[in-house]
Structure 1
Amino acid sequence: MALVLSAAVAPVQAVALPAVSGTATAPGSYGFAEDATRIEGARTTADADPLTPGRSYRSSLPSRDKVSYRLDLDATTNAYVSVTAVPPPGSSVSVVDGLKVSVQDAEGNSCSVDTTTFGTARSPHPIAAWGMREISPGKPLCRADGAYHVTVERADPEGEGSSPDTWELEILAVTEPQTAKAGATGAPQTWDSATPQPLQGDAEQRKGAAGFAGATPLDRGVWRDELRPGQTVFYTVPVDWGQQLAVTADLGSSDSGGTGYVSDALEVTLYNPARGHVARLGVGYDGDQKSGSLPPLPPVDHANRNAPLAQTGALRFAGSYYLVAHLSESVADSFGDGPFATTLRVDVRGTAEAGPDYAGESDPEGLFDVSEEDREAAAAGVPGGDDTALRVVAVSGIGTGSALLVGLGVWTLLVRRRSPVRS
C-alpha cells in the first residue's frame, strides 16, 4: 500500500521529533549514562568484581574507604579506566580534596596513578581521574595477561575540610589495540607551541549537557551558554590525528551590582576520548567580564604517549575530546544566582592526517576515530547518548506532508548515529 504525502494541505507550526535529553538544567545534577550497570566496589582486591571494556558502571565511594574493581586483560591490549566522582550538591570540599585512581598488576606492581582535586574554588562538582595499563617498550612492568586491579579512593581522605559524604561514581573502561608495526619510541619534538589568538565572531547558543554520556557536540566556532552557580556542563569536540585544539573561555559581567572576588569562578577542563585529564583553565571573577585560555596543546599524535609530560601524553589518540565547564557555587555569594553568560571559543587547527595502523578495534568500536557522522553531529549540535526524548522543530509555511518528510529525514539522521540521541 502506498503512502501519499501532499504539501497542499494546511500549514502547521511544528513537528515533534525524537531528540535528546540530558541537558544540564539544575546546578549540582549529573547525567549518568542510562545504560550504566550498578556495581559495588570491593574493600579488598580479592573480592573485586570485573569491569567489562566498553560498558559503563555506577558505583559509590565512601569518604574514608578504598574500593577496588578488576580488569581481566590479555598481553597485547592497552586498557584505560576513567572514574567520574559526583559529590552531592552542597558538599564541603577542600583545596586538596579529590579523587585518586590507581592500577596494579596481580603482583602489586604499580601501572599508573592519577589524582584530580577540586582546587582553590572549593566548589563540589563532577571530577574525573583515569588509570591505565599500557604495553610499551619503555615500561617493562604490567605487560602480562591476567587480572589487574583498579583502586579508587579520596585524594586526601583524612584532610581537614574533606567531604564526609559518599560520592556517586561513573566508571568507564575502554581498550586500545596495539599498532600493526612498532611505532615511534619518542614524542614528536617540533610543533607550533605559540599561544593561539582566540577565535572571533558572534556566539551561537548551544546548551551543555549534564554528563559525559550525553555531552553536547561542538565544532570550530564561538559558543554561548548560561550557567548558574554550582552548575557543570559537558561538551564534546571531534579532534582528528594531526589536529590541534585551542580553547578560550569568557565569563560575562554581572548585572547584580555585587562586589568581591572568586578564584577560579569558571573552571574549564579538557578530557581526552577515554575521559583522561588533559588540561584545565581557571577564570577568576570580580563581576566584570573575564577570560582565560587552555595552555597551548600539541597536535594529536599516537607518539605523544612517549612524552614525559602527562598533558602531552594524554593527547595520544584522535576522537571526541570533552570540554567540561563548571561555575563555582561561591559566585552566588557575591553576585547572585545568575545565570551568567559563558562563551567557549573553540578552534581546531590543522588538516586531519592518517592515524596509526591499529591491529584491531577499540572497545567500544570507533572510540579513537573521527567519522563523518561525528563531524555532522558537531556542526548540528546533536548529542549522542542513551535515551530518547522529543524535539520540536519549527516548520512554518509548509504543508503537513512536507513537514513530515523533514521530520523523517532528521529522525533518520539521528538513528544512524553510533549511539542513541540525547538533548
Structure 2
Amino acid sequence: MGDGRWSGDDEGWRAMGRRRTARWRRARVRRGHRSARARGAVVAALLLCTTAALPGRSALAAGTPGPYAFAPDARPIIGATSTADAAPLTPGTTYKSSLPSGAKSHYRLDLDATSDAYVSAMAIPAAGSTVSASDGIKVSVQDADGSDCSFDTKTFGIAHTPRPIAVWAAREVSSNRPRCEGAGTYYVIVERVGTANSAPDTWDLELFATSEPRLKKTDATSAPDGWNSASPEPLTGEDVRRDGGSGFASAASVGQGVWNSDLNPGRTLFYRVPLDWGRQLYATAELGSSNGRDGSVPGALNLSLYNPVRGFVDDASTSYNGNQKAVELDPLPPVAYENRYAVPKRFKGVRFAGSYYLVVHLAADVAEQYGDGPLQLTLRVRVWGAAQAGPGYAGESEPGGVFQVAEDDQWAGAGGAFGAGGGAGDGGGAAMTVLAVSGIGAGTLVLVVLGVWAVVVRRRVGAW
C-alpha cells in the first residue's frame, strides 16, 4: 500500500512538472516573440533615422522633385472670382493657391494708415506645360474704389520654358498716391497675361504678404546717387559644393564665394544671400560645357534676383550651344531705404536689408540637345561695401526680422565670407562645419537608439 501511495504521488509530481515545463516553454516563446518585435522596431527606427540623416536621401526616396517646393507652413487659400468674396491675406504669412487660365484671382488686405504692405505672387506652371515668351503673371493692389496702388507684370521672356516666376505689388503710404494712404480694405488681383498660345492648364501659386513699418524719422526723399556702378571682376578661387533649394523657403544660404552644383534641364535652384544696409551684390552663373549634339538653345540659362519680400529685382539669360556659358546681373546700388524713390524698377527693388534670393533655371529644351543628365553650375557671388545702420523703423515688420540680417547668420559677419578677403575658402569652412555637426548628430542618434534597444530588451526579459 505504501508502494502504491508513493507511486501515485510520484505520478502527480511528474504531471505537475510537465505542466510547469509547458508553461515555461510557452513563456519563453512569448518572450522570444516580444524580444524579436522589440529588436525589429528598434532596427526599423534605426534605419529610418539613419536614412533621414543622409543628405538628399528624402529627395531620392520621393523620386523626381517637382518644379517648386512650397513653404512647409504655407496655408491653403482659394482666390475668389470677385472682390466681394475675397479671402484675407495676413502680412507675415505664406499661402498656397492656384491660378486658372483666363480668370482673375482676388484676395483681400486689411491695412492700417502707416505701414507699407507688399504681396509677392509666385506662379508655378506644371513641368512639361506649354508657355510662350509673352506668357506671365500680373499682380495688382487696388483700393476699395478700384484704383491701382501699384501693379507689375513678369513674363517668361526669351527663356520661355515653364519655370517658377514671381512678381510683386505694394500699398505704399505716399503723398504720390493719396488714394492709397488711408486705413481700410485693399484688394490683391492676380492674373495671367499673354495666354493665347499657352496650354489652358491651372498654375500653382504661392503668395507671400509682408508689412513694413513707418520710419521714426523721414530724411531724404530722393534716391542716392554717386554709387559705384562698374561691374567688378568676377570672384575667383576654389569652388565649394552647394546644392540649391527648390523654393524660397528651402533656399540654400551662401555668402561671398564660388559655389557649384549639378543642374538638370528643367530644374530651378534657389540660393539665399543675406545683405545688410549699404552692401552691394554682384553675381554670375556659369554653365559647364557638354559633349552633346550641336545646336543652340535660346535663353537656356536664366539668373534672377528677388528681394526680401520675394519681389522681382532683375534677371539675365543666355543661350547654350554645348560650350561653357556665363550670365551676369547688371550692377545694382547699395541696399538703401531711399532706393524706393529711384526711377529704374530694379533699383527700387534693393530698398530693404535682409535675405536676397538668387534663382537659377536651366531650360528643359536643353535635354533635347544634350541629354537629361546634369550640367555643372558655377555661381560666383561677390558682396562689397561697408555695412551701415538701418533707417530706424518705428515698429516691427511682419514677419519679424524680414528687413534685417540675423546676427547668427553664418554669412552675416564682416569677418566671415562677406569680408574683404572672403572667398570660397570661407564658405568651405562653413560647409565643413555643417557637415561635421550633421555627422555628430547622426552618430549620436545611432548610439541613443542602440541604448534604447538595450533597455527595452532588458525590461522585456525582466518582465518574465
Same fold (TM > 0.5): yes
Structure 1 residues 50, 150: CA separation in 2 closer, same or farther (over 3 Å shift)? same
Q: Once the 2 structures are TM-superposed, how far is the Cα of residue 184 of structure 1 from its aligned partner? A: 1.4
Residues 308-328 of structure 1: CA deviation (Å, up to 9, x unaligned): 111000100000000111100
Kindly indicate which of the two structures has a greater share of residues assigned to helix: 2
Structure 1 residue runs without a partner (length 5+): 1-14, 383-389, 406-423
Q: Once the 2 structures are TM-superposed, how far is the Cα of residue 140 of structure 1 from its aligned partner? A: 2.3
Which of these residues, 242, 245, 251, is aligned with residue 209 of structure 1?
245
Partners in 2 of 1:115 and 1:314 — Cα distance?
A: 14
The equivalent residue for 1:292 is 327
**1:148-227, aligned counterparts within 5 Å?**
148-157=186-195, 159=196, 161-227=197-263
Q: Once the 2 structures are TM-superposed, how far is the Cα of residue 338 of structure 1 from its aligned partner? A: 2.1
Partners in 1 of 2:182 and 2:84 — Cα distance?
A: 18
Contact 1:75-1:145 at 8 Å conserved across structures: yes
The equivalent residue for 1:97 is 135
Partners in 2 of 1:163 and 1:374 — Cα distance?
A: 42
Partner-residue secondary structure (3-state), 2:410: helix
Q: Once the 2 structures are TM-superposed, how far is the Cα of residue 374 of structure 1 from its aligned partner? A: 2.0
Q: Once the 2 structures are TM-superposed, how far is the Cα of residue 148 of structure 1 from its aligned partner? A: 0.5
Contact 2:274-2:411 at 8 Å conserved across structures: no
Residues 181-216 of structure 1: CA deviation (Å, up to 9, x unaligned): 113110001100011111111111100111111111
Contact 1:23-1:210 at 8 Å conserved across structures: no
Contact 1:305-1:312 at 8 Å conserved across structures: yes
**1:5-24, aligned counterparts within 5 Å?**
none
Q: CA RMSD in A?
A: 2.5
Which of these residues, 227, 246, 260, is aligned with residue 295 of structure 2?
260
The equivalent residue for 1:59 is 97
The equivalent residue for 1:141 is 179
Structure 1 residues 148, 181: CA separation in 2 closer, same or farther (over 3 Å shift)? same
Kindly indicate which of the two structures has a greater share of residues assigned to strand: 1
Contact 2:304-2:358 at 8 Å conserved across structures: yes
Contact 1:121-1:328 at 8 Å conserved across structures: yes
1:69 paired with 2:104, answer: no
Contact 2:301-2:327 at 8 Å conserved across structures: no
Partner-residue secondary structure (3-state), 2:98: strand
Partners in 2 of 1:381 and 1:314 — Cα distance?
A: 30
Structure 1 residues 60, 391: CA separation in 2 closer, same or farther (over 3 Å shift)? farther
Q: Tell me the TM-score normalized by structure 2.
A: 0.77
Aligned amino acid, residue 258 of structure 2:
V
Partners in 2 of 1:355 and 1:70 — Cα distance?
A: 31
Contact 2:303-2:328 at 8 Å conserved across structures: no
Partners in 2 of 1:255 and 1:229 — Cα distance?
A: 15
Q: Once the 2 structures are TM-superposed, how far is the Cα of residue 255 of structure 1 from its aligned partner? A: 2.6
Q: Once the 2 structures are TM-superposed, how far is the Cα of residue 47 of structure 1 from its aligned partner? A: 0.8
Partner-residue secondary structure (3-state), 1:40: coil
The equivalent residue for 1:350 is 385
Partner-residue secondary structure (3-state), 1:121: coil
Contact 1:238-1:375 at 8 Å conserved across structures: no
Q: Once the 2 structures are TM-superposed, how far is the Cα of residue 284 of structure 1 from its aligned partner? A: 1.3
The equivalent residue for 2:343 is 308
Partners in 1 of 2:268 and 2:213 — Cα distance?
A: 33
Higher radius of gyration, 1 or 2: 2
Partners in 2 of 1:33 and 1:402 — Cα distance?
A: 27
Contact 1:262-1:286 at 8 Å conserved across structures: yes
Aligned amino acid, residue 368 of structure 1:
F
Contact 1:234-1:323 at 8 Å conserved across structures: yes
Structure 2 residue runs without a partner (length 5+): 1-48, 418-426, 449-464
Q: Once the 2 structures are TM-superposed, how far is the Cα of residue 119 of structure 1 from its aligned partner? A: 1.2
Residues 313-359 of structure 1: CA deviation (Å, up to 9, x unaligned): 01000000001111001101111112000111000111211011000
Aligned amino acid, residue 161 of structure 2:
S
Structure 1 residues 140, 335: CA separation in 2 closer, same or farther (over 3 Å shift)? same
Moved >6 Å (runs of 4+)? 17-25, 400-405
Partners in 2 of 1:235 and 1:117 — Cα distance?
A: 21
Structure 1 residues 327, 255: CA separation in 2 closer, same or farther (over 3 Å shift)? same
Q: Tell me the percent identity.
A: 52
Q: Once the 2 structures are TM-superposed, how far is the Cα of residue 23 of structure 1 from its aligned partner? A: 6.8
Aligned amino acid, residue 286 of structure 1:
N
The equivalent residue for 2:43 is none
Which of these residues, 375, 391, 395, is aligned with residue 340 of structure 1?
375
Contact 1:204-1:223 at 8 Å conserved across structures: yes
Partner-residue secondary structure (3-state), 1:372: coil
1:239 paired with 2:261, answer: no
Aligned amino acid, residue 342 of structure 1:
L
The equivalent residue for 1:6 is none
Partner-residue secondary structure (3-state), 1:141: helix
Partners in 2 of 1:319 and 1:359 — Cα distance?
A: 18
Contact 1:97-1:163 at 8 Å conserved across structures: no
Structure 1 residues 216, 107: CA separation in 2 closer, same or farther (over 3 Å shift)? same
Which of these residues, 400, 404, 420, is aligned with residue 365 of structure 1?
400
Q: Once the 2 structures are TM-superposed, how far is the Cα of residue 155 of structure 1 from its aligned partner? A: 1.6
Aligned amino acid, residue 360 of structure 1:
G
Partners in 1 of 2:431 and 2:244 — Cα distance?
A: 10
Contact 2:266-2:364 at 8 Å conserved across structures: yes
Partners in 1 of 2:54 and 2:182 — Cα distance?
A: 44
Q: Once the 2 structures are TM-superposed, how far is the Cα of residue 373 of structure 1 from its aligned partner? A: 1.8
The equivalent residue for 1:281 is 316
Partners in 2 of 1:114 and 1:177 — Cα distance?
A: 22
Partner-residue secondary structure (3-state), 2:88: coil
Residues 376-398 of structure 1: CA deviation (Å, up to 9, x unaligned): 5885469xxxxxxx998446xxx
Contact 1:176-1:363 at 8 Å conserved across structures: yes
Structure 1 residues 219, 196: CA separation in 2 closer, same or farther (over 3 Å shift)? same
